[in-house]
Chains A and B, each alone.
Chain A
Amino acid sequence: MGKYFQEEIECAPIEKIREIQNEKLVKQVRHVWDNVAYYRQKMQEQNLTPEDIKSIDDLHKLPLLSKADLKAAYPYGLLACPLKDCVRIQSTSGTTGKRVVAFYTLKDIDIWEECCARAIVAAGGTNEDVCQVSYGYGLFTGGPGLNGGSHKVGCLTIPASSGNTERQIMFIMDLSATILCCTPSYAAYLGESMKEMGLTPEQIPLKAGIFGAEAWSEEMRRDIEKTLGIKAYDIYGLTEISGPGVSFECSEQRGMHINEDHFIAEIIDPDTCEVLPEGTQGELVFTSLDKEAFPLLRYRTRDICTLTREKCSCGRTHVRMTKPKGRSDDMLIIRGVNVFPSQIETVLLNNGYAANYQIIVDRINNTDTFDINVEMTPDMFTDNVGEIQSRKKILEDGLKSMLGIKAKVNLVAPKTITRSEGKAVRVIDKRKI
């Protein structure tokens, strides 16, 4: 196996990529128009018909989609093919507790796994490799996506899923795993645990890691690379568009190549929604060109980044995106999980607390810490220590089931949560990424 998974596409000249995109876009707009009443209405509101979209140059005319649309159309409103053709859903948390549910046909899964296979090959993977997938399996796209990609490359795949660190390390060592796929914070944690066990980078059989689903710094990358003795590659994706593998890093480690034969990327100004020229920082917007079941056109990712077409020494011609530098909404990614402050508010109110809180996120020893300061109220106060603690425990359990990750609740005195110009500061993110 060579340097690429699909060289003729991954290294195609830009004209060829444009040609593919033009052809697929026209077809996809027609598919959506014919099958998704929700989007057809959006187009009609702007006096658009499929005939108005002749090439990628007309893309900017199409209406944008956002998480609010996904919520409004939940669960089946954006589905573009009959249920008999759908074989899977994946899901991620959404605002105010409504989850994003994305649908897949067999072909959708096939293309998604192909994208993941490209990422694995770009990280040096071949059918000689033993690939341990330590992303969560289930509704989360991380595990299933990389698992499928690993099969396509022909790696021996270890579907370890997340957690149970001892077992993870046992498999890596006993089966001589060469590629590790997980979140960067878990990779760092595994690295630290192995170091504590006295394992040196030379003794650890891993050679590459494919890490994504959360923001991580260059410094963290070097740390992980040193402890595990590997080269660490970034991977990007989102459930709405398919999952991991929308873009991936090559050996250059300078931005992630977007799989442009399947997705068109645009950068817009998050306030005016105007398309910005290449090289300008703005909000990333994706159009799925091949998705049959859940084809989103011009979906706003809320991730802020920059695109570049500068030649890459790896030979791939697909546009590269920088690591997302932040979000244009208030979503936080904590330990790889999407967290919206509004979800926390819902849980607080449901449990009798006031909606006055402050989220404090930090990264200590490469692991995210997640604290929520909650103001004590006369209603929630009792003279009984055990009673206050059990109410707090109920609140923490409620947060865990809403968010999917554990948060530490600190009870603070009333009116102590920082207010600036009358507006409460809800999020303090101390992570340096």
Chain B
Amino acid sequence: MSVNQVSVFLENKPGTLNKMTEILAQHNINIRALSLADTNDFGIVRMIVNDVYEATNVLKEENFVATFTPVLAYKISDETGTLNNLLKAFTDADVNIEYMYAFSGKKNAYMIFRVKDTKNAESVLASKGLKSLTQEEIAEV
């Protein structure tokens, strides 16, 4: 199962990111992982939150452009070589990664991947024994 990530457009000026986090805080939305893609002109925030629908709604109400993007999330144990093994599976399956980011929990680390064809990538990786996390699983981490 792929996971919905919230992607938000950010204008390039001081305070924009903070305005976004303020809105999420006011609505008790917890950010589990966050990555920021920046250019000279604008930024895109990508994040995994505990409630994607609520997060998107409240951001839209405050005039942010926010959308869902399907991504794949994998749990790996927090020890040397595990990310390398995971990525090797991507390579063997010939899956190209558009971007990725990571966060680590108490025991495990979590890897978020954006690929072109999410469904296909998910099934070929599953056939190699890699099970991606569901929305519920990632929210509970």
Q: Which residues of A contact B (CB under 8 A)?
A: 376-378, 381-385, 388-389, 392, 410-416
Stretch at the interface among B34-42, B83-91, B103-111: B34-42
Contact at A413–B65, with CB atoms within 8 Å? yes
Is B63 in contact with A415, judged by CB distance below 8 angstroms? Answer: yes
Q: Most A CB atoms within 10 A — which of B9, B12, B39? A: B9
Contacts A383-B114, A384-B98, A388-B42 given; does A416 touch B63 at CB 8 Å: yes
Contact of B44 among A385, A392, A414 (CB under 8 A): A385
Task: Pick the most buried of B10, B41, B98: most chain A CB atoms within 10 A of its CB.
Answer: B41
List of B residues within 8 angstroms of A411 by Cβ: 9, 11, 41-42
Chain B residues within 8 Å of chain A by Cβ, number: 20
Bound-state CA distance A412–B9 (Å) is 9
Query: Which of B11, B37, B39 contacts A413, CB < 8 Å?
Result: B11
Task: Check if B21 is an interface residue, CB within 8 A of chain A.
Answer: no
Count A/B pairs, Cβ under 8 Å. 48
Query: B65 touches which one: A376, A385, A389, A410 (CB < 8 A)?
Result: A376
> With a CB–CB cut-off of 8 A, which chain A residues contact B5?
383
Please list the 5 inter-chain residue pairs (A to B) with the smallest Cβ-Cβ separation, ordered nearest first: A383-B7, A383-B69, A413-B11, A415-B63, A381-B65
Given contacts A410-B41, A411-B41, A412-B11, whether A383 and B67 have CB atoms under 8 Å apart is yes
- A413–B64 contact, CB under 8 A? yes
Are B65 and A377 touching (Cβ within 8 A)?
yes
Q: In the bound complex, what is the Cα–Cα distance between A354 and B63 (angstroms)?
A: 15
Question: Could you jot down 19 A-B contacts, CB within 8 Å?
Answer: A376-B11, A376-B65, A377-B65, A378-B65, A381-B65, A382-B67, A383-B7, A383-B114, A385-B37, A385-B39, A385-B44, A392-B41, A411-B9, A411-B11, A412-B11, A413-B10, A413-B63, A413-B65, A414-B63
Is B16 among interface residues, defined by CB-CB distance under 8 A? yes
Residues of B within 8 A of A384 (CB): 98
Contact of A381 among B9, B16, B39 (CB under 8 A): B9
Q: Which of A377, A384, A385, A413 has the most CB of B within 10 A?
A: A413
- Other contacts beyond A376-B11, A381-B65, A413-B65: 8, CB < 8 A: A376-B42, A377-B65, A378-B67, A384-B98, A385-B39, A388-B44, A413-B63, A414-B63
In Å, the complex CA distance between A134 and B63 comes to 48
B18-38: CB near A (< 8 Å → 1, else 0) gives: 000000000000000000010
A385 to B35, CA, bound (A): 13
Q: Is the interface of B mostly helix, strand, loop or mixed?
A: strand
**Distance of A378 Cα from B98 Cα, bound (Å):** 21
Judged by a CB distance under 8 angstroms, whether B75 is at the interface is no
Please determine whether A383 and B44 come into contact, CB atoms closer than 8 angstroms.
Answer: yes
Using Cβ atoms and an 8 Å threshold, which residues of chain A touch B67? 378, 381-383
Closest chain A residue to B64, Cβ basis: A413
> In the complex, A392 Cα to B41 Cα: how many Å?
10
CB of A414 within 8 A of CB of B39, answer no
B10 to chain A, nearest CB (A): 8
Which residue of the partner chain, among A410, A413, A414, contacts B16 with CB atoms under 8 Å? A413
Considering only residues 64-86 of chain B, those with a C-beta below 8 Å from chain A are 64-65, 67, 69
Shortest Cβ distance from A415 into B: residue: B63
Q: Smallest Cβ distance from A194 to chain B, in angstroms?
A: 31
- A383 in contact with B65 (CB, 8 Å): no
Partner of B9, one of A389, A392, A410, A413: A413
What residues of chain B lie closer than 8 Å to A392, measured between beta carbons?
Answer: 41
Query: A249 to B120, alpha carbons, bound, how many Å?
Result: 73
Contact A376 B41 (CB under 8 A): no
Which residues of chain A are near B39, meaning CB under 8 Å? 385, 389
Q: Which residues of chain B are within 8 angstroms of A381 by Cβ–Cβ distance?
A: 7, 9, 65, 67
User: Within the assembled complex, what's the spacing in Å between the Cα atoms of A11 and B105?
Assistant: 90
> A385 to chain B: which residues have CB within 8 Å?
37, 39, 44
CB distance from B14 to the nearest CB of A (A): 13
